[in-house]
A and B are shown apart, each in its own frame.
Chain A
Amino acid sequence: MTDTFSEDEVLTAAEAKRETRRRMLADFWFYFSENRGAVIGLWVFLALVVVALLAPVIAPHAPNMQYRDSVLMPPVWQEGGSWTYLLGTDAVGRDMLSRLIYGARFSLFIGVIVVAIAVSGGVTIGLIAGYFRGVVDTVIMRVMDVILAFPSLLLALVLVAILGPGLTNAMIAIAIVLQPHFVRLTRSSVFNEINREYVISARVAGASPYYLMTRTLLPNCLGPVTVQATLSFSNAILDAAALGFLGVGAQPPTPEWGTMLADAREFILRAWWVVTFPGLAILITVLAINLMGDGLRDALDPKLKRS
């Protein structure tokens, strides 16, 4: 007998791994799909992704095209509406529907980028704090406490004031504000896991700190991080829209939903549609993501699982 595996054995090992992964996914889907709201949220979210990707194809008009002869036209079902502009036009004659469709791109893009920055930064810092403990941990956690001491939107607002208004800076600011939550979550998961047998055995087997952090500990911290990530996704969209609304986020004429609302404020009593639709778009997007988040939490949190 040789001490190397035969090709067959290697194959079955890989297959077994694939099989467990498949089983885990099936398990996850079982619990996720039990939550009707979560499935609806998922479908709405997927629809939004499709709309965002196909924006140039679906949108009836260019988002920044100003049709000067049809300014503040109401939606089609109201008197004075026209089939050319289904959801009406804004104060400079831009088609609302097209702007909303392009807006989906911005919101989803903002969510993805902000969460990517916040998660990667937060998880890395959290792993380091949880793994090394001691002074490193204390310093990191005190810095996080300082960030969390400020109301998030206020801190984001001030950060944007420092960095200068604009979408990119708004995204960086929001990521910085959201990131301490990931640090805390990862750190406490690491604290829970680090004295378990599998971690000790990996350490005894000679795994390097880097290997231990990324391969052994990280996968076991991902459950709560995933749930927090969906929450942060919706928070990022809301905060970015709020910054846009306050005039320091995406700048006009960008068809970002929050910025559209800021432009529309002076017309609220004259043209309800320029105010109603962008906000409704934000609400639907955020609601869909939060519905998914609730489903994810139920599916990933073993405590809530019905045995």
Chain B
Amino acid sequence: MLSFLIKRIGLLIPTFIGITIVAFGFVRVLPGDPVLLMAGERGLTPERYEALMKQFGYDRPIWVQYWDYLNGLLHGDLGQSLVTKKPVLDEFMQLFPATVELALCAIILAIVIGIPAGIIAASRRGSFVDQSIMGTALVGYSMPIFWWGLLLIIVFSGWLQWTPVSGRISLLYFFPQVTGFMTIDSLLSGQKGAFTSAVSHLILPTIVLATIPLAVIARQTRSSMLEVLGEDYVRTARAKGLSERRVIGIHALRNAMIPVITVIGLSVGTLLAGAILTETIFSWPGIGKWMVDSITRRDYPVVQSGLLLIAAVVMVVNLLVDMTYGLINPRIRH
């Protein structure tokens, strides 16, 4: 296991260096001079321009600049937002829990519905139930989620008035951020109604963000269940006279889950990409919306470091998934 881990981490290092090059190169390949770009339309005097060039170190060779950038990264210096003047890392840390809360809820919803749906479809292959489940899954898989979100807002917030349109919690409530998870913090605050408000804000974004992973998980569960159900050991289990429930629930499911776990792991990237759209639609103050806003505001230090941080998060999660994978399936380790 250890050697597997070391090999896997060894593979990450070149990828991480590549990511830093992309993030570093990002500001450099933007058309135009970075200092002029940051100055915007106000313009600069030549002296001020020189001073800024020196201050940011743009007058030195590019590899020295890259080295400095890397050094800064390793010391936790990710630059400063041009708009808020706050360190990018602080902003990220403040907004990240919101995205994690939403993504966790979404993936839990996707798993809780997706896996049983896939199992039911596989165990009744070809039936009406199977066809309806798979049809729905394909629709979910093809869904433009930004439109799906708007549609849900029209129905549940507009016509039925059941859920709020945007944000994480009603403005009536205010309490300190302890965990960063609004649902937990609202409970900790002990304010009446705060938790309900947080949950009602969470429902629609969760559904929207869960849609594609749910469909993918259901499809994968069905197809790997079908594959496993044809295996000899399943036939043996049936021949032993075990109930269908035991055959599917114990003998088949455990082996069918391995590809499903891979798919769940891979959907972390999908969730973060989906968070960009979902958070924008529901004005959810997480890193997805933060990135979109920074791009439109041309807040390049934020875009640069945000890109790096998000890629790093995806990388770490993928590593964790691979490790779980190695734990469940010993064949992978060697």
Contacts and interface: CB of A to CB of B under 8 A. Distances in A.
Interface of A: 37, 142-143, 145-146, 149-155, 157-158, 161-162, 164, 234, 238, 241-242, 245-248, 258, 261, 265, 268-269, 272, 275-276, 278-280, 282-283, 286-287, 289-291, 294
Contacts of B30: 161-162
13 contacts: A37-B138, A142-B14, A150-B22, A153-B276, A155-B307, A241-B144, A242-B146, A261-B146, A268-B150, A279-B144, A286-B143, A289-B142, A290-B141
Given A161-B303, A287-B139, A145 B151 contact: no
Nearest to A257: B144
B314 interface: yes
Contact of A283 (B18, B143, B269): B143
Contacts of B273: 151-154
B269 A151 contact: yes
Interface in B286-308: 291-292, 295-296, 303, 307
- The interface residues of chain B, by DSSP majority, are classed as helix
Contact of A146 (B18, B135, B269, B280): B18
Contacts of A164: 31
Contacts, number: 127
Interface of B: 11, 14-15, 18-19, 21-22, 26, 29-31, 135, 138-139, 141-144, 146-148, 150-151, 153-154, 157-158, 269-270, 272-274, 276-277, 280, 291-292, 295-296, 303, 307, 310-311, 314-315
A149 B315 contact: yes
Given A151-B314, A152-B269, A142 B277 contact: no
A151 B270 contact: yes
B146 A245 contact: yes
Given A158-B26, A162-B29, 20 more contacts: A145-B15, A149-B18, A150-B314, A151-B270, A151-B310, A152-B273, A153-B273, A154-B310, A158-B295, A161-B295, A238-B144, A241-B144, A246-B292, A258-B146, A269-B158, A275-B154, A279-B150, A283-B143, A283-B144, A286-B142
B270 A157 contact: no
Nearest to A150: B311
Return the 8 tightest CB-CB contacts between A and B, nearest first: A279-B147, A146-B18, A151-B273, A153-B273, A286-B142, A287-B142, A151-B272, A282-B144
A163 to B, nearest CB: 9
A34 to B, nearest CB: 13
A158 B307 contact: yes
B147 A282 contact: yes
Given A149-B19, A151-B314, A153-B273, A272 B154 contact: yes
B26 A287 contact: no
Nearest to B139: A287
Contacts of B143: 283, 286
A261 B26 contact: no
Contacts of A142: 14-15, 18
Nearest to A303: B227
B142 A283 contact: yes
Contacts of A268: 150, 153-154, 158
A96 B140 CA distance: 25
Contacts of B269: 151-152
A261 B150 contact: yes
Contacts of A247: 296
B276 A154 contact: yes
Nearest to A244: B146
A157 B139 contact: no
A245 B277 CA distance: 9
Contacts of B29: 162
A284 B14 CA distance: 41
Contact of A154 (B139, B148, B291, B296): B291
Nearest to B287: A154
Contact of B310 (A150, A279, A282): A150
A165 to B, nearest CB: 10
A146 B147 contact: no
Nearest to B291: A154
A162 B26 contact: yes
Contacts of A37: 135, 138
Interface centre among B148, B274, B295, B314, by most A CB within 10 Å? B295
B222 to A, nearest CB: 12
B228 to A, nearest CB: 14
B140 to A, nearest CB: 10
A164 B276 CA distance: 19
Contact of A242 (B135, B138, B277): B277
B15 A149 contact: yes
A283 B139 contact: yes
A242 B280 CA distance: 11
B162 to A, nearest CB: 14
Contacts of A151: 269-270, 272-273, 276, 310, 314
Contacts of A291: 138
A142 B291 CA distance: 25
A298 to B, nearest CB: 11
B144 A290 contact: no
Given A158-B26, A286-B142, A248 B295 contact: yes
Contacts of B138: 37, 287, 290-291, 294
A268 to B, nearest CB: 5
Contacts of B22: 146, 150
Nearest to A148: B269
A289 B142 CA distance: 9
A265 B19 CA distance: 35
B209 to A, nearest CB: 13
A162 B30 CA distance: 5
Contacts of A155: 307
B256 to A, nearest CB: 16
B15 A146 contact: yes
Contacts of B291: 154, 157
